[in-house]
Every structure is written in structure tokens, then in C-alpha cells.
Amino acid sequence: MAKEGRGIVATILKNLVNSLRPRQMFGNEMGKDHLGNTYFEIPADPRAGKRRAERWFAPKEKEDFEQQVPAEWEAWLRGRRSEAPKEEEVLRNLALMQVKKENARKIAEREAASRDSSSLGTEVKGKESFPARKEYEIMPGKPQNK
């Protein structure tokens, strides 16, 4: 019975000492993106009971609630990647995205031009709209009259 009491007192004292230890309150700056956002992280500390790192970003404009975040940084913020992306990787993917947007714009212009230039004849509805083929019979055993 006495051993249980010491265990509780020891646990309380251990928790008190751990609570008085200094801990990291501000994050380490992990990088910046081309939009001006700054990214921070406080690493995980299993001794203190933190299994996951805390990650966040400070936007360039504080009041902008529809702030864009590059896909690489968003994956890092959500914990889908362990290492913060390098600036070269983000810039390479941004250049690729701009090339794809330009190609999509050119294709859309080409399709719009082809739609305008192609003249479709008047639309014929009914039996006349179907093609007439000489090799097919309308009724079995009787050739087509046309």
C-alpha cells in the first residue's frame, strides 16, 4: 500500500518538474514561397507528449482570408511530406504550371477558331437525315429504289 502512495507522489513531482522545464514557444522558420508566405514548425517532442510537429504559415497580407498556398507547402503543412520543400522545387513546379496554362489557353483559342470557321449545313430532320446506301436493302429481298 505504501508503494502505491509513493508512485502517485512521484508521478505528481515528475509532472511538476516537466511543466517547469523551458519549452519552445516560437517556431523555427522553415522557408518562404514566391507569394511571400513564411512557414514555421515546432518539431515533435515525444518526451513532452507531442507526437506530431506543429506547422503553420504567416501570410504576406494578414487580412487576406483567401490566401493561396503552393501545393508543395500545403502538403508539408498537412503532414503528407516530412521535409519542407526547397525553393527550386516550388519554382520549377510554378514554371510548369504556367506552361500548362499557356498551352490550355492556346488550345481553347484554336478550338474556338475552328468552331467559328466550320460551317455546318442546315440540319435535316426525319427520314431524310439518314444516309442512303446502295448496298443495303430496305426490305429483305427488295433493292433500294434510290
DSSP 21-38: S----SPEEEEE-TTS-E
What does the alpha-carbon distance between residue 11 and residue 128 come to, in Å, rounded to a whole number? 93
Distances (CA, A) of 103 to 18, 35, 52, 91, 136: 58, 23, 41, 18, 46
pLDDT grade, residue 101 (50/70/90)? Answer: very high
Greatest mean pLDDT among 20-29, 93-102, 113-122, 134-143: 93-102
pLDDT grade, residue 96 (50/70/90)? Answer: very high
Whether the predicted pLDDT of 95 surpasses 90? yes
Phi-psi region of 16 (alpha: psi -120 to 50; beta: other; left: phi over 0): alpha
Does 124 or 74 have the greater pLDDT score?
Answer: 74
